[in-house]
Amino acid sequence: MTINKEKRIFGIPVLEDNIIWIWEENKSAIVIDPGISQPVISWIESRNLKLEYILQTHHHHDHIGGTQELLRKWPNVKIIASEKDKKRIPLQNISISDGDSIKILNKEFQIIELKGHTSTHISFYSKDFENPILFVGDTLFSGGCGRIFEGTHLEMFNSLKRILSLPINTIIYCAHEYTKSNLLWALDIYPNDKLIKKKLEETKKQILAKNLTIPTTLEEEMHINLFLRAKSLSEFSYLRAKKDSWV
């Protein structure tokens, strides 16, 4: 399955497995979930851009840890985060809620709350690109989904259903590079699944070539992601328990 990547969105690998996404539009930069600052500053300055927006999907430090330094560097940056999380994302200066629409430069984004990983996790969805895009944070990964820290299994199951309601050509920008381990786990569950096997081989080649294995597409995840394939809450909960104990 070919992914028609948005050419203006770039992934910067940081920490152990985080990906900071940067969307470049003319001479502006929009950063999603900056866990640290220096690679972002270097990347933006090397392209002679100005940081205009920071989008925050949730409060975990590996997603907001670089925000303060970026704010010092660009004092007028607009920081968009969940209104419910003002205490844990205190630097936000544009607060949004589920169902809101917000204009970011020349693109319209819809805010979709995706509870489960945290109780206030949000995502940013836009149809104003060549293909629809979703900055999904830690709710969905290629071949997997986020651990349930603050929410419930039902909330995460419903959040995945919300993602499944989007167009199948949606490009999904998740915030961690977990693809290989997720697929190895999935093959433990379904060792004869041809689509998962094929995706794992493609993933290994990408890693060998030092390329990111993400973004992914909703269509592809519908075929290889066991959590999206789960037909019931009980099946989802079974899979989540299996993944949580997998080593």
Q: Does residue 3 sit within a domain? A: no
pLDDT tens by residue, 107-155: 999 999 999 999 999 999 999 999 999 999 999 999 999 999 999 999 9
**Adjacent-strand bridge partners of 101:** 110
**Helix 179-189 / helix 233-244 crossing angle, nearest 10 deg:** 110
Tens digit of pLDDT for each residue in 189-227? 999 999 999 999 999 999 999 999 999 999 999 999 999
- For residue 127, tell me if it sits in a domain: yes
For residues 243 and 159, is the Cβ–Cβ distance under 8 A? no
Domain membership of residue 1 (yes or no) is: no
pLDDT given at position 7: 76
Residue 235 lies in a domain: yes
Average pLDDT estimate for 147-169: 97
Query: How many angstroms separate the CA atoms of 216 and 220, rounded?
Result: 7
Whether the link from the prior residue into 215 is cis, omega within 30° of 0, is yes
DSSP state of 31: E
Residue 2 scores a pLDDT above 80: no
CA angle, corner 30, sides to 25 and 36, nearest 5? Answer: 140
Q: What is the pLDDT of residue 5?
A: 63
Q: Could you list the residue range(s) of the whole structural domain that residue 143 is in?
A: 9-244
Indicate whether 103 pLDDT > 70: yes
Which has the closest alpha carbon to 163: 144, 187, 150?
Answer: 144
Please state, as a whole number, how many other Cβ atoms lie within 10 Å of the Cβ of residue 129. Answer: 15
Enter the DSSP assignment of 139. S
pTM for the full predicted model: 0.96
- pLDDT of 3 reads 53
Other CB atoms within 10 Å distance of the CB of residue 211: 11
pLDDT reading at 234 higher than 70: yes
Is residue 217 in some structural domain? yes
Distance CA 57, CA 121 (A): 6
* Residue 85 CB-half CA count within 13 A: 25
Mean pLDDT computed over every residue of the chain: 96
Q: Report how many domains make up the chain.
A: 1
Residue with tokens 């995460």: 156
Q: What is the CATH number of the domain that holds 63?
A: 3.60.15.10
Residue with tokens 């071949």: 143
Q: Is residue 141 part of a domain?
A: yes
pLDDT in tens, 13-38: 999 999 999 999 999 999 999 999 99
Q: Judge whether residue 54 has pLDDT over 70.
A: yes
166 part of a folded domain? yes
CA separation for the pair 159, 116 (Å, rounded): 7
What pLDDT is attached to residue 1? 43
